[in-house]
Amino acid sequence: MERKGIIRFRISGVCGILTPVVAFMFISLSIYSAPEFSWMENALSDLGVMPGVTSVLFNFGLIISGILGFVFATSLFRVMRFFEIFSADGKPHLLFYRGLGGALLFSVACLALIAIGVFPENVRYAHTIASVTFFVLLIGALGHFTIGFWQVKQKPLAVFTLLLTAVAAAPWGLLFLVRYVSGVAIPEFISAIAGGVWTAVFGYKMLKTASKLKGL
């Protein structure tokens, strides 16, 4: 791979690692600045319309982490090209399309995350659409990558991604079956953690891939 491609991988990998760090740092700071916030009764998005520094921290954090996540996503499809499987004739074949759907879903999810920060809760319809889009596409992207990793015989990555897909989806499914909280902050946070862990781990994998390519 050309030098520019390797540099792009490194930048994307760093952005993948930083995405959850930035997101949860600003979310934590905004929660700390809002003693009235309740995990049981509020949504995380409520922080985006609370007075003072709370809304600034929350919305700014989502916008920055969404941008970082989008930069990370731009290399997701390319890194999938380095996973090979062998056909019946014993020859390696690169499966260029395996990661495309997941990468597209993840990219749009990051744009939706930016939109959540740009359009806080008081911009009702735009915010609702952005929020629903983010969580649905995040779970969908992880599910798609699970299938993709399995197809290219990357079973440890497939199992790891499947577990995180289940973690991201389970609190929402449970909420629809049993209204265990009056707000949605808890399922939002659990889903975000699952997505953040996957992003950081795969960002690290991108950095390792870049190092291997540099040595070729």
Residue 124's domain comprises 3-214
DSSP 3-state percent helix, strand, coil across the chain (nearest 5): 75, 5, 20
Identify which of 114, 109, 117, 116 has the alpha carbon closest to the alpha carbon of residue 139.
109
Give residue 107's pLDDT.
95
Tell me which residue has tokens 């997101």: 23
Domain count, the chain: 1
pTM for the model stands at 0.89
C-alpha separations of 70 from 12, 59, 149 in Å: 9, 16, 21
Report helix, strand or coil for 184: coil
Beta bridge partners of 94: 84
Tens digit of pLDDT per residue, the chain (216 long)?
Answer: 567 778 888 999 999 999 999 999 999 999 999 999 999 999 999 999 999 999 999 999 999 999 999 999 988 877 766 555 444 455 545 454 566 788 899 999 999 999 999 999 999 899 999 999 999 999 999 998 888 888 777 888 899 999 999 999 999 999 999 988 999 999 999 999 999 999 999 999 888 877 766 654
Burial group, residue 46, by CB count within 10 angstroms (0-12, 13-18, 19+): buried
Kindly give, in sequence order, each residue whose CB lies less than 8 Å from that of residue 196, ignoring residues fewer than 6 positions away.
Answer: 19, 20, 23, 24
In the numeric block, which tokens belong to residue 199? 């992003």
Kindly give, in sequence order, each residue whose CB lies less than 8 Å from that of residue 20, ignoring residues fewer than 6 positions away.
Answer: 65, 192, 193, 195, 196, 197, 199, 200
CB atoms within 10 A of CB 208: 11
Give residue 63's pLDDT.
98
What are 14-40's pLDDT values in tens digits?
999 999 999 999 999 999 999 999 999
